[in-house]
Amino acid sequence: MNDGGAEANGASEGDIAYAKARADSGAMNPFTVMRHCLYAADSAKFGSMLTDRARATFDEWQAAEVPEGG
Instruction: Give me the helices (H) in the chain, please.
Output: 5-8, 13-24, 30-41, 43-46, 52-65
Identify the band that residue 4 occupies on the pLDDT scale cut at 50, 70 and 90: very low
| CB atoms closer than 10 angstroms to residue 27 | 10
Q: Report pLDDT digits (tens) over 11-47.
A: 677 777 777 776 666 677 889 889 999 999 999 999 9
What mean pLDDT do residues 47-57 have?
93
Q: What is the dihedral of CA 55, 59, 60, 64, to 10 degrees?
A: 160
Do the domain assignments include residue 70?
A: no
50 vs 36: CA distance, rounded Å? 7
Helix axes 30-41, 52-65, angle to 10 degrees: 60
If one counts the domains in the chain, the total is 1
CA 32 to chain centre: 10
Domain holding 59, by residue range, is: 5-65
